[in-house]
Amino acid sequence: MCGIVGIIGSQPVAAELYDSLIHLQHRGQDAAGIITCNQRFHIHKGHGLVREIFAQDDMDQLTGNLGVAHTRYPTAGGYSEQEIQPFWICAPYGIAMAHNGNLVNKTQLAEKLCKTHLRHLNTSSDSEVLLNLFADGLTTKHAINTSAEFFEQVCQAVTSIFNQAEGSYSIIATIIGKGLVAFRDPHGIRPLVYGERQHENGDCDRIFASETTMFYPLGFSNINNVKPGEVIYIDEHGQVFKRQLTQQKFSPCVFEYIYFSRPDAKLDDISVYRARLRIGQNLAKLWQKTYPDTLPDVVIPAPFTSNTAALAFANAIGVRYSEGLYKNPFIGRTFIMSDQQQRKRSVRYKLVPQETEIRDKKVLVVDDSIVRGTTSREIVKMVREFGAKEIYFASTCPPIKFPCFYGIDIPTRKELIAADKTVEEIRQYLQVDKLLYQTIEALEEAITRKGDHHIDRPCMACLDGCYISGNINPKKMHAMEQERHCHKRKSVKEPT
């Protein structure tokens, strides 16, 4: 999962791209980059948090009224600086691209580009594959004189990607001398939103981003979501061209609402905060049905992404809500960390139980999900050490049984605790008195209950094994898991 943003305006955009990355930092803490352009590209990238990468001298070099930026944690590609987005290519025109998502047929496409199209790929990233596919589609031998003609060429290039690329991809690209292009895969798996900012003199700045989180502080109005299969082109004079090139089942990722997006975001006309409230309400109903004779003394969230659902859960069952675990906000997300030992150690660094809220109480912990079980087990252990009488555990997400191949680092089945364990076996592993998982039906209902979203069904492949793109069968899944395993072993040896 990554965060992407692109801005085209009447003033230099580097500072606002930086501010946007700060608002997207929760989507990736591994690396970040900014590319701006006027008649040439200006680039700065690095490993770490956004505030650690960009010094004032770096920002001063990022000139131009058009640019894209990216913050990431890697699910494909390597960890060297060459793998950090945005990527750029010199021909045709000069194109810089930021991508959020994951291709499941990257290897086949890369081989085709190298052997048939004689293109050189300098990284193992699927984003570079997409950049070269896009550049290939824009290559033409005849003159293009108007923005309308160029938009037709863009539509042909994006259609070619739709016909070849399998998986998830939200894309923002700057093209020197032409403007800004944004498009979203035909199923809309990864989010992409569009905003505008009007000036008194009539100028209008435009922004595309993974979330709306930076719109208000930067003065942008939320105009719309980029539709699945839609491409939008804004030329250097501010003309807007858009077209939905294909329409397939709209299946945005369910994990955006459970975990990844910031609660103040609005995606596909659904408030993430309200969706999490409804998720908590549905989980509470299930608790009362499953354990009608069990009432905890206190409900505490595993902060921060489960706070909203835990609050709704506590209100629904009439029990006090308490932030019984204090979270150090300067520790990264344990879900993203690369190995079990690091993940286990980090839980105690970032979470400190509050004894007054726990001792001699029946404590119900609400967490957004249980992936490997390492973090959940460590939380339970800490709560028990601080004197809880009984410990119950409720997950707002159903059991995660399958890997995600669309851009979230939900790993191989071997690493997923629910892939080969029953709920009772997981309860025993976590060492809790009672365990409850949300159901798939209740989760889907909570997310889609409100909003003019036109969602056919959220992508829940990690829960039910129903992969919407890529024709993923058991044989292909095994091959991709093996590729991930080899990549992980290789990446550990690489310098950071």
**Helix ranges restricted to H, 24-123:** 50-53, 56-61, 106-115
CB within 8 Å of 53: residues ≥ 6 apart? 31, 32, 33, 44, 45, 46, 47
Question: Cβ-count burial of 112 within 10 angstroms (0-12 exposed, 13-18 middle, 19+ buried)?
Answer: middle
Task: Sort strands 434-437 and 167-175 into parallel, antiparallel or unpaired.
Answer: unpaired
Nearest-Å Rg of the Cα atoms of the chain is 23
Q: Rounded to 5, what percent of the chain is helix, strand, coil?
A: 35, 25, 40
How many Cα atoms within 13 Å fall on the side-chain side of residue 369? 26
411: its two tokens:
């790993």
Q: Which one of 2, 253, 397, 404 is the catalytic residue?
A: 2
User: Can you tell me whether residue 72 is helix, strand or coil?
Assistant: strand
Question: For residue 248, what are the contacts with CB-CB under 8 A and spacing of at least 6?
Answer: 186, 187, 228, 229
Token code pair at residue 231: 């491409």
Q: Are 208 and 6 in contact (CB under 8 A)?
A: yes
User: Which positions ≥6 away from 65 have C-beta within 8 Å?
Assistant: 8, 9, 10, 11, 12, 13, 38
> Phi and psi of 178, rounded to 5°?
-125, -50
- How far, in Å, are 89, 96, 136, 148, 155 from residue 145 at the CA level? 22, 21, 19, 9, 16
**Residue count (the chain):** 496
**CB 69 within 8 Å of CB 32:** yes
253 is known as an active-site residue: no
How distant is the alpha carbon of residue 204 from its chain centre? 28
Residues labelled as active-site residues: 2
